[in-house]
């Protein structure tokens, strides 16, 4: 049996996905000591987890240093990497939307959009026939309309609380997001039996 390397995002998604793997019958220790470790070996199942930033999971998978990985649909849409998208795990579901100060319209000359997702935002506005200027930020996106950096933001919304607390309202729903199981195209062929078995077992836990 081949060794399988799985890239996982650190934090809550890791825990949820890990529980799913246990549910799917994988022989994993109940408790994993996370602390600062970046790699976890599970010799019983010949599985190795690597723990990465959510944005980086598709990078590891595309380059083939991880065979499969768990990545948010937002990241996949943003980066457009060449990976197989095998299964919707339906965990950490949320959506991407545009938001701004209430009762405002976008600047007609040069509407500005602040976002962590420049590609998604650009594609969306192109799709609705608006030419916009994108300002890329790395966090606290809600600040941008509040202090006049941008007319709208494009960001992830899960409960809508952060928007509300900062006095913003949602304008347009853009797309749904959840965690996906992705695979490297070469691993998918060379370790196909293991990967397809894993997909089948996980699929039962999803539905």
Minimum CB separation from another protein for residue 200, in Å? Answer: 9
- Contacts with another protein in 123-162 (CB under 8 A)? none
Contact call for residues 18 and 32 (beta carbons, < 8 A): yes
- Position 192 contacts another protein (CB under 8 A): yes
Minimum CB separation from another protein for residue 169, in Å? Answer: 28
Chosen residue from 86, 91, 97, 113 binding another protein by CB under 8 A: 86
- Position 63 contacts another protein (CB under 8 A): yes
- Position 206 contacts another protein (CB under 8 A): no
Rounded-to-5 percentages of helix, strand, coil across the chain:
35, 30, 35
Residue 86 token pair:
């095998």
- Position 88 contacts another protein (CB under 8 A): yes
- Position 64 contacts another protein (CB under 8 A): yes
In the bound state with another protein, the residue whose beta carbon lies nearer, of 59 and 97, is: 59
């Amino acid at each position: 049996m081949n060794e399988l390397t799985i890239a996982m995002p650190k934090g809550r998604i890791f825990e949820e996905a890990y529980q799913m793997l246990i549910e799917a019958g994988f022989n994993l220790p109940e408790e994993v000591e996370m602390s600062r470790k970046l790699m976890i070996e599970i010799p019983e199942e010949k599985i190795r987890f690597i723990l990465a930033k959510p944005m980086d999971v598709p990078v590891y998978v595309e380059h083939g240093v991880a065979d499969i990985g768990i990545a948010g649909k937002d990241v996949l849409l943003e980066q457009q990497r060449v990976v197989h998208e095998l299964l919707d795990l339906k965990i950490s579901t949320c959506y991407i939307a545009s938001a701004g100060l209430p009762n405002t319209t976008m600047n007609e000359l040069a509407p500005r959009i602040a976002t962590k997702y420049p590609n998604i935002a650009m594609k969306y506005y192109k799709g609705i026939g608006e030419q916009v200027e994108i300002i890329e930020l790395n966090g606290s996106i809600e600040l941008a309309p509040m202090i006049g950096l941008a007319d709208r933001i494009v960001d992830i919304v899960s409960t809508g609380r952060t928007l509300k607390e900062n006095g913003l309202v949602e304008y347009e729903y853009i797309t749904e997001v959840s965690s996906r199981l992705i695979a490297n195209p070469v691993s998918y062929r060379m370790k196909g039996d293991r990967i397809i078995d894993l997909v089948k077992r996980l699929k039962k836990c999803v539905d």
